[in-house]
Homo-oligomer: A and B are copies of this chain.
């Protein structure tokens, strides 16, 4: 063991539990389509959670129960929500001491960390809890599930040997355009694919900015509604983008640019 505290196998494990990607979408998918049984089995036996939102975690547990019966009724599960400032600003802008959230693990209970969609702590809150777990010597085990960024990267045809995810771009038109130009310059200079996301209701504005700002030969890829029935990925040089109806303002999308 190389971290701050010696390993202690009397402690519980912190499992990172991915959630399906249909959060806040009008249709929901069959969990077994995008989550391994192994992941659902672990989630079904956990009774202690740290979550982004308790209500959506209960809804997710209800769906799991239809596949694998939960070890304990939802009403008796212990759900702790991450502080609102962590969910809003991310774990890296605050100085949250997340150790109090891990008391159950210190007492020997396995715990789950879950966000509203996809993998906790990846483009989502949770990394402060993971850091605290390592600091306390609690074993951390990530479980397999859908991660929209990586699905989008694979489907983009862009460079997957060197890539970056940079989160959200500025909202202001001028600042957004400047940031797009800077990311394009970096991608062309280094060959590094640049991935980013937008709040769904701004997807079409983002696409317009990209088409107006990027060079004609730069490759743009957009995945919309990943893991839903209507999932789509479009990818090609900007000069060949003749339609712009590939995103809508109610479905999550991932954007990627590269040479």
Contact = CB atoms under 8 A, between A and B. Distances in A.
Interface of A: 1-4, 16, 30, 32-38, 90-92, 119-124, 126-128, 130-135, 139-142, 144-147, 149-167, 191-192, 223, 226-227, 231-237, 240-244, 246
A13 B158 CA distance: 18
A135 B2 CA distance: 48
A246 B2 contact: yes
A2 B159 CA distance: 20
B155 A122 contact: no
User: Which of A32, A121, A167 has the largest count of B CB atoms less than 10 A from its CB?
Assistant: A121
Nearest to A232: B139
Given A134-B157, A144-B146, 20 more contacts: A1-B243, A33-B36, A35-B36, A36-B36, A119-B150, A119-B154, A122-B160, A124-B160, A127-B159, A130-B157, A131-B157, A131-B235, A140-B157, A140-B235, A141-B155, A142-B151, A144-B144, A144-B227, A147-B147, A150-B150
B135 A144 contact: no
A164 B234 CA distance: 23
Contacts of A128: 157
Number of copies: 2
A155 B130 contact: yes
25 contacts: A32-B37, A32-B38, A33-B36, A34-B144, A92-B191, A121-B154, A121-B160, A122-B153, A123-B160, A126-B154, A126-B160, A127-B158, A127-B159, A131-B235, A135-B236, A140-B157, A142-B154, A142-B155, A147-B150, A161-B167, A162-B167, A163-B164, A164-B164, A164-B165, A164-B192
B2 A243 contact: yes
Nearest to A14: B155
B157 A127 contact: yes
A121 B234 contact: no
Contacts of A37: 32-33, 36-37
